[in-house]
A and B are shown apart, each in its own frame.
Chain A
Amino acid sequence: METKNIMIVGVGGQGSLLASKLLGRLLVDEGFDVKVSEVHGMSQRGGSVVTYVKFGDKVYSPVIEEGEADFIVSFEKLEAARYIKNLKKDGTVIVNTQQIDPMPVIIGSEKYPETVLDEMQTKGVKVDAVDALSLASEAGSSKACNIVLMGKLAKYFDIPYEKWEDAIAKCVKPAFIDINKKAFELGYNN
């Protein structure tokens, strides 16, 4: 099988770590060779963060370059646009419509590009947008956006629903399993 590439992008502190842990766990259990790569340190302080998840028969490079991502899962609108050059032709962007202003916008030196998702669609990119924050709150925690987005992503894979639930159970603390399963379900069905 040809290697599949998933990028998870967002703002430091949004929980991309759990999302990549979940994918890693699931894909190893499914018997794939897997590489997951992220950069720790500076990027955690509210900066732009990116995680690469790659799986297949044999994965070499841990990074995803321009035109290589089958999926970009973005926790924030602007961050989807930042990494769009990495999307493969025919790739899909799964995006949380939440808007988090970066410092240049906060201090008024630049404007937030409100219409980036429209521009992506105009240029033929498949955009699957969702208000993950509302669905996460509905599930019981605004912090569960990451799992809502994993629910969205799951629809594009042939891996059985129960396997995803098993992986969630393995990756989160027992007290949060139900909230996360609910968040996953809401992402999957909306």
Chain B
Amino acid sequence: MKELMIGNAALARGLYEAGCAVISSYPGTPSTEITEEFAKFNDVYCEWAPNEKVATETSFGASLRGKRSACCMKHVGLNVAADPLFTMSYTGVNAGMIICVADDPGMHSSQNEQDSRHYAVAAKVPMLEPSDSQEALDFAKAAYEISETFDTPVFIKMCTRVAHSQSIVEKGERVEVTKEYVKNPKKYIMAPANAIARHPFVEERTQKLTEYAETSPLNRIEEGMGEYDFGIITSSTSYQYVKEVFGDKVSVLKLGIVNPLPVKLIRDFADKAKKVYVIEELDPIIETHCKTIGVDVIGKEKFSLLGEFSQKTISQAFELEAKESTVLDAKIPVRPPMMCAGCPHRGMYYVLAKNKITVLGDIGCYTLGSMPPLNALDMTLCMGASVSGLHGYNKAGAEETEGKTVCVIGDSTFMHSGVTGLINIAYNQSNSTVIILDNSITGMTGHQQNPTTGKNIKGDPAGKVDLESLCRSVGINSVRVVDPYNLEECEKTVKEELAKNEPSVIISRRPCVLLKYVKPKKPLRVNPDKCRGCKKCMTFGCPAISFRDKHAVVDNTLCIGCGVCAGLCPFNAFESEEE
């Protein structure tokens, strides 16, 4: 049956059909749904790991044991997994292993737009790049064949538009694959003597993969109907944009294998065209390869290094006629994402902003605390950096910063890579206060379980890390828990912990209001007779409160009745509907 599937779901289906038996991943937009969809199959093992390095090594262990495996992550997650990656390139695999990595050109939900193809080149690992959902499914099968034939892990690289666009897919049947595990120290123990012996294998493998790429059906030439005398080399979603603009009128070399890149195939393609353009998002990987092998191409001088492409990018570059459109004179205010009405993070941020505390932030929903009116954050870098950054900041600032600076990090992010920073604080004793914003879920990526929630990927009971015990056991003596809906308690605790002359942890704990088990209360309303229009509630930044005709008003479709605004109002103007 034909079915519409997002690229990530189709990729999960492809992994399943190819016999993948184990997936370990850490969530990250736009990669999360690959693992979530795979978890829906019953006869396979699937988990959320604490971070991408653990996930990759788990997947490697499964391959070693003889089961086809995969791990999935976003582009920045691959930085975390880079350590095992580079040496897995040397060991190779037993059963096939795939690393699914999803880039985010345009940074819809990311802190940078690094191009994962660099990792494939640097680690000498083959990379396939599908351009729609059917290819995502088919390439998963091809990737396992390549993995086992050439003894290497294989990347499948997605991007936001392929990962999150639905297109039509035809499903197939699952095959089962099991390899025998045979002890082989020379292949699997990468101590210097063995690794030195293994490196030539890696180089030979790249040669063989290049030969494979010359004739593989994953790379194909689509001959044009002769209307244009130039040719285009492209891959991924850019291929779709090229076809949207030119249809069958231009010759296209569509690359499904983006590492290693073919040589003869590109030269032959270029020989038949008057000019050759390379159209690729982000960095000039294909372009640089072409120039290295002596093929003259036009690439980044015409197509940006920045952001996502579209059909418009291409028509503009080729100076085709622009489409007519309507432009309004009205100024349209931006509508940025924000913390939800009733979000437990807001209370803690309000307290920190009110007391003008410097806040080193981290990656998650709570990064939105940087937006007006709270403007509560000073720094956001990468997963875990708030904690280690705070340590360095306080070591450099000493008494000038210690009583006025905190870091904030979510429960899932703390598990991912915050705890190692906390160990450093405890070990090297900086007078630092770490606030764990524990909303009992991985929020921003759409509610994934994590080691602190006590549930596994399927929602079944699982092991549970006790945050208080963990913090104490690494050497933090002052560990306190507060309810972020209680502003007074939060303010008092933050001030007390900042005043202490030792490392401390405050766990700001309340579950995300979007969790199903969190039942909203009746919405509040503003009594216009009591409201004097002082706008104190507007400094709280709740999207359910707005200001109309000299009074605050509550949007009762958004308000969940958390009541924190009622505590802020000096005139008791917020009332619950029962009153």
Residues on A lying within 8 angstroms of B by beta carbon are 11-12, 24-25, 28, 33-48, 59-63, 65-68, 78-79, 81-82, 84-89, 100-113, 115-116, 119-120, 123-125, 142
Contact = CB atoms under 8 A, between A and B. Distances in A.
A45 B109 contact: no
A110 B330 CA distance: 12
A37 B335 contact: no
A39 B338 contact: no
A78 B325 contact: no
B123 interface: no
A107 B541 contact: yes
A119 B372 contact: no
Contacts of A28: 2-4, 168
Contacts of A67: 322-325
B330 A65 contact: no
B241 interface: yes
A106 B325 contact: no
B164 A110 contact: no
B518 interface: no
B165 A47 contact: no
A66 B335 contact: no
B4 A36 contact: yes
A78 B332 CA distance: 7
Interface string B412-447: 000000000000000000000000000000001110
Q: Chain B contact residues: over half helix, strand or loop, or mixed?
A: loop
Nearest 10 CB-CB pairings of A with B: A67-B323, A41-B109, A47-B337, A41-B29, A45-B337, A102-B335, A62-B165, A67-B325, A61-B244, A37-B165
Contact of B4 (A24, A41, A42, A125): A24
B545 A85 contact: no
Contacts of B338: 45-47, 103
A167 B243 CA distance: 30
Contacts of A36: 4, 165-167
Contacts of B311: 61, 63, 65
B326 A87 contact: yes
B557 interface: yes
Contacts of A62: 161, 165, 167, 237, 240
Contacts of A61: 237, 240-241, 243-244, 310-311
B8 to A, nearest CB: 9
B29 A40 contact: yes
Contacts of B326: 84-85, 87, 89, 120, 123-125
Given A34-B166, A116-B330, A44 B337 contact: yes
A45 B365 contact: yes
30 contacts: A34-B167, A37-B161, A37-B164, A40-B32, A40-B109, A40-B164, A41-B108, A42-B108, A42-B109, A42-B444, A43-B337, A44-B446, A46-B338, A60-B241, A61-B237, A65-B312, A81-B328, A81-B330, A82-B335, A84-B326, A84-B327, A86-B325, A87-B325, A103-B336, A104-B334, A104-B372, A106-B545, A108-B535, A119-B328, A119-B329
A43 B108 contact: yes
A120 B330 CA distance: 10
Contacts of B58: none
B340 interface: yes
A111 B333 CA distance: 8
Interface in B251-278: none
Nearest to A11: B335
A116 B543 CA distance: 22
Contacts of A47: 335-338
Nearest to A142: B557
Contacts of B335: 11, 46-48, 78-79, 82, 102-103
A103 B132 CA distance: 36
Nearest to A39: B108
B337 A65 contact: no
Contacts of A119: 328-330
B62 to A, nearest CB: 28
Interface centre among A11, A38, A42, A84, by most B CB within 10 Å? A42
Nearest to A48: B335
Given A61-B310, A87-B326, A88-B325, 20 more contacts: A39-B109, A39-B164, A41-B30, A45-B337, A60-B241, A60-B243, A62-B165, A63-B161, A66-B322, A81-B330, A84-B326, A89-B326, A102-B335, A103-B371, A104-B333, A106-B541, A108-B535, A115-B330, A119-B330, A124-B326
Contact of B328 (A25, A84, A89): A84
Interface in B50-101: none
B373 interface: yes
Given A35-B166, A61-B311, A107-B541, A66 B371 contact: no
